[in-house]
Amino acid sequence: MGGATLQYVQVKTFYIETFGCQMNAHDSEKVIGTLLDQGYRQVPTPDEAELVFYNTCSIRDKAEQKVFHRLDKFKRDGKGKTFAVLGCVAQQEGEKIFEKAPHVSMVCGSASYNQLPQMLVQLEAGNRRVTGLSLDTDETFETPMTRRDNPHRAYITIIEGCDKKCAYCVVPFTRGPERSRTSASVIREARQLSAMGYSEIQLLGQNVNSYQDPSPAGWDFAKLLDEVGRVEGIRRVRFTTSHPRDFVKPIIDAIDANPFLCNHVHLPVQSGSTRMLEAMQRLYTREEYLQRIAWIKAARRSIAITTDIIVGFPGETETDLAATLDLLSDVEYDSVFSFKYSRRPNTSALALEDHIPEEEKIRRLALVQEHQRQIQIRRNAAYVGAVEECLVEGLNKATGQWIGRTSQYKTLNFLYPGAEESLIGQYVDVRVTRAGANSLVGEYVS
Ligand code: 5AD
Ligand code: SF4
């Protein structure tokens, strides 16, 4: 009947653009897999597409505005196209999006992606107000078909959502409560990925280390990490993002003992001031955080440490800022992502006055970034002369340099005269000859 004919009328085309974090990037891979599975065809530009999807981020106001800029462009000349807003802005704004951008026909948050096939049927049937906004799920989004972007590194989501309540953060509202996958399903997926030729796996979760196996096996994160690193054919395992409160020493012991686990930990601190950490409801003090850093530094392997910083949170004084700069010096991070505080809907910090002017936030951000730049120049210089194993990720045709990634997640651009394109995806040894603030330069060693 009608349903069967609908499916075969024509192949519909879709375009998808993704904003935000790796969780979103991986969600898009799964959404693409679902769409392909439903018979849709992906095209590279929105102009060519009948269905246009935006998978959105709302972590900061600037990120949120991006999707509305995109949609604005199609306000007049989007006729004949169907627009869908997915991800965090969809969850946060819900049906208000239909008012802001009346040419949008579907709004769907990440906890409802399991319902995408049914929602697509509704769209095809001409429904112009299709929504998937429930957060009331204990399911995780797993698809039989995931179209992965990177041919060597594959993401596996092991835990979705967040049960913490950091005062500035919208994520618990956009991604819902924590749900872990069973360890057996994670290991099965890792084995499949290895059989497909992937050699690097990145375990994903908003609080990846809060993972708790819901099956009777009952593995914790350290056990899961170690077991993924034992899957045959997997040479590198990464994980992000870790929450300091749940960061226990067995994670470091696992990295120390298993060379297939990459020596890199991303441990967002947000501020170096205990007073600020308390205001942010981060659930740890500066001292407790530094205890985790001490474990990482005491490992036999040299583990790179990276972090996230927020400047200009309500109540932040010069003294608090100085404590953050001082923490950067103490830890000597390999890299830092720093942000100006941005007020987000639903968060508890909304009750606090956002009293620090924008120019002052800009000044504090610049201070943090310049301080960290000097640290990175110093740290990276120490690698000159060292030989590092790199996964070759590409070739920069302009410079003739191969783009390599070390276990510590540093970019190492190197020369390898005579090498062919098939080098991409291989692991090679490279001697570091020069170092900058953000990358290393080297040459292949045979
Ligand atoms: N304002 C600024 N930065 C934020 N982050 C999260 N929420 C906000 C906000 N409201 C930053 C944190 C987090 C990273 C992913 O984004 O540093 O670790
Ligand atoms: Fe946001 Fe805090 Fe949860 Fe991270 S731990 S996602 S910063 S609420």
135-175 per-position pLDDT tens digit: 988 888 887 777 787 888 999 999 999 999 999 999 999 99
CB atoms closer than 10 angstroms to residue 39: 12
Instruction: Give me the pLDDT at residue 76, please.
Output: 79
φ/ψ (deg, to 5) at 132: -140, 95
Strands 130-132 and 335-340 turn out to be unpaired
Residue 179: which of 164, 195, 162 has the closest Cα? 162
Secondary structure (3-state) at 7? helix
Confirm or reject: Cβ of 206 under 6 Å from ligand 2: yes
- Ligand 2 nearest atom to the CA of residue 270, by list position: 7
Give per-residue pLDDT as tens, 367-391: 999 999 999 999 999 999 999 999 9
> Is the bond preceding residue 241 a cis peptide, omega within 30 degrees?
yes
* Whether the model pTM is above 0.85: yes
Strands 159-160 and 179-180 turn out to be antiparallel
Fold classified for 153-381: pyruvate-formate lyase- activating enzyme (3.80.30)
Phi-psi region of 315 (alpha: psi -120 to 50; beta: other; left: phi over 0): left
Structure tokens at 12: 């519909």
Q: Domain map of the chain by residue range?
A: 2-132, 153-381, 387-444
Residue 95 has pLDDT above 50, yes or no: yes
Transcribe 174-237 into DSSP letters.
Answer: HH-S-EEPPHHHHHHHHHHHHHTT--EEEEE-TTGGG-B--STT--BHHHHHHHHTTSTT--EE
Confirm or reject: Cβ of 210 under 6 Å from ligand 2: no
Mutate to test the pocket of ligand 2, among 179, 207, 210, 307 (most ligand atoms within 8 A of CB): 207
DSSP 152: S
Q: How many residues does the chain have?
A: 446
DSSP 281: T
257 C-alpha to center of ligand 1: Å?
A: 32
Residue 9 has pLDDT above 60, yes or no: no
CB 402 within 8 A of CB 413: yes
Counting residues of the chain whose pLDDT is more than 70, the rounded percentage is 98
211 C-alpha to center of ligand 1: Å?
A: 21
Tell me whether residue 265 is exposed, middle or buried, using C-beta atoms within 10 angstroms of its C-beta: 0 to 12, 13 to 18, 19 or more.
buried
Transcribe 291-313 into DSSP letters.
Answer: HHHHHHHHSSS--EEEEEEEE--
Give the 3-state secondary structure of 70-116. HHHHHHHHCCCCEEEEEHHHHHHHCCHHHHHCCCEEEEECHHHHHHH
Average pLDDT for 207-211 = 97
Q: How many angstroms separate the CA atoms of 370 and 38, rounded?
A: 49
Mean pLDDT of the chain: 94
388 C-alpha to center of ligand 1: Å?
A: 32
294 C-alpha to center of ligand 2: Å?
A: 23
Q: Does domain 387-444 have CATH number 2.40.50.140?
A: yes
Mutate to test the pocket of ligand 1, among 206, 242, 308 (most ligand atoms within 8 A of CB): 308
CATH for 2-132 is: 3.40.50.12160
**Beta bridge pairs of residue 83:** 52, 104
9 C-alpha to center of ligand 2: Å?
A: 45
CB atoms closer than 10 angstroms to residue 117: 13
CB 249 within 8 A of CB 291: no
With a Cβ cut-off of 6 Å, ligand 1 is lined by 59-60, 168-169, 268, 270, 308, 310, 339, 341-342, 344
Structure tokens at 18: 């993704």
Average pLDDT for 393-404 = 95
Give per-residue pLDDT as tens, 49-81: 999 999 999 999 999 999 999 999 998 777 889
147 C-alpha to center of ligand 1: Å?
A: 28
308 C-alpha to center of ligand 1: Å?
A: 8
Tell me whether residue 155 is exposed, middle or buried, using C-beta atoms within 10 angstroms of its C-beta: 0 to 12, 13 to 18, 19 or more.
buried
Residue 235: which of 262, 260, 256, 258 has the closest Cα? 260
CB 318 within 8 A of CB 326: no
